[in-house]
């Protein structure tokens, strides 16, 4: 590869973390493209958020691409606790070795710099893969749902729930794999970890994708809250629309708490009934109505995909398992205020406008 120049010659520097450098006449700041932090050459800024910036970098010894999530210096100065949270995110993710979860390779923490070194994923965020005018095909949505559920299941085996599943936190690789990223709001069942992380009673997450209990009673949050958020994500991808969009966060949360989920058929003509039933089960306001385990969720997603394959003439006849019948039963027995809003296509002929 091309030779790498760690820093411009002739400028006095002082250490920046482990082996990096900054001009001595500057306070800590985000690294420049082309600079070196420890053994990582900074190649490209991928994005910035309120607390951190993410870069594509090259490991100078292994010559492989990596992603670096670096806490902003001003955040470290004003909110020193965020450094420990970033390290905690790394510890959470490092326990998971699964193809549907982005791998964490390393973490560095000092008074001047804190960052995570992660797997670099050559792909796009899920939210860039669809639009209101062009939602994803139903079977593609199910494939993504299966991938994400597999990753969430692997995390749950380690005692973790994500608490912020949404399209921006799911990356689609060029090979068609969906990967979960950003465990910054993950919660562990470990008592020690709970003392460090955001309090279980603290409302965290993204309102548009947040389960009702996550906003109303955060202490009740468990893996089924992630199932709800995944349901919102799949609904969004399959229709191009969020089920609830208020004028502000408070109104959006109120809609999740109180309003029935609009039928996907309001947005997509001929939306598959089996997929609608699947989504409505995941989006049940009563946490006990949602799939009772990731094994059940995955079974239902796969059986739904088999049904759609059969209906499209693109698969063999599926073996209908008991869970699909359970979902149909739950769907029909949901309280009326929790059922999807009907469209004219759902009504008997004599009741249609």
**Using the 8-state DSSP alphabet, how is residue 337 labeled?**
G
- Among residues 131, 137, 30, the alpha carbon closest in space to that of 73 is found at 30
Using CA atoms, how far residue 216 sits from 160, 202, 282, 317, in Å, is: 20, 10, 18, 42
Q: What is the dihedral of CA 289, 204, 116, 16, to 10 degrees?
A: 180
Residue pair 123/178 in contact by the 8 Å Cβ criterion: no
Using CA atoms, how far residue 321 sits from 87, 142, 289, in Å, is: 42, 17, 18
Task: Give all strands of the β-sheet with 123-125 in edge-to-edge order.
Answer: 123-125, 170-173, 178-180
Alpha carbons 7 and 22: distance in angstroms, whole number: 9
Alpha carbons 351 and 97: distance in angstroms, whole number: 53
Which residues, 6 or more positions from 72, have their beta carbon under 8 angstroms from its beta carbon?
Answer: 30, 48, 51, 52, 53
The angle subtended at Cα 319 by Cα 318 and Cα 320, nearest 5°, is 105
* Catalytic residue selected from 147, 164, 226, 305: 164
**Using the 8-state DSSP alphabet, how is residue 101 labeled?**
B
- Annotated catalytic, 164? yes
Helix and strand tally (H, E) in the chain? 10, 13
Residue positions annotated with a catalytic role = 164
């Amino acid at each position: 590869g091309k030779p790498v120049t760690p820093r411009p010659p002739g400028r006095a520097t002082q250490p920046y973390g482990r082996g990096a450098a900054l001009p001595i006449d500057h306070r800590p700041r985000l690294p420049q493209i082309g600079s070196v932090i420890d053994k990582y050459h900074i190649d490209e800024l991928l994005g910035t958020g309120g607390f951190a910036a993410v870069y594509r970098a090259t490991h100078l010894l292994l010559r492989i691409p990596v992603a670096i999530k670096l806490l902003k210096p001003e955040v470290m100065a004003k909110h020193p606790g965020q450094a420990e949270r970033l390290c905690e995110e790394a510890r959470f993710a490092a326990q998971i070795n699964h193809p549907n979860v982005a791998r964490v390779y390393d973490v560095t923490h000092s008074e001047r710099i804190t960052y995570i070194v992660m797997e670099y994923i050559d792909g796009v965020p899920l939210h860039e893969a669809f639009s209101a005018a062009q939602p994803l095909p139903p079977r593609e949505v199910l494939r993504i749902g299966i991938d994400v559920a597999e990753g969430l299941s692997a995390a749950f085996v380690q005692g973790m729930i994500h608490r912020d599943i949404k399209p921006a936190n799911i990356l689609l690789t060029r090979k068609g794999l969906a990967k979960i990223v950003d465990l910054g709001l993950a919660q562990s069942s470990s008592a020690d970890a709970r003392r460090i992380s955001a309090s279980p009673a603290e409302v965290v997450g993204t309102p548009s994708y947040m389960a009702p209990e996550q906003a109303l009673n955060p202490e009740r949050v468990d893996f089924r809250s992630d199932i709800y958020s995944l349901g919102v994500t799949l609904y969004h991808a399959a229709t191009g629309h969020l089920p609830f969009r208020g004028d502000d966060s408070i109104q959006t949360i109120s809609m999740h708490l109180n309003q029935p989920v609009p039928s996907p058929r309001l947005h997509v003509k001929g939306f598959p009934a089996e997929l609608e039933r699947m989504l409505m089960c995941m989006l049940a306001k009563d946490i006990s109505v949602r799939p009772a385990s990731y094994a059940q969720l995955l079974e239902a997603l796969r059986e739904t995909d088999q049904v759609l394959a059969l209906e499209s003439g693109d698969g063999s006849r599926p073996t209908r398992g008991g869970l699909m019948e359970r979902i149909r039963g739950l769907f029909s027995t949901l309280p009326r205020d929790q059922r999807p809003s009907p469209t004219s296509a759902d009504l008997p002929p004599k009741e249609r406008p």
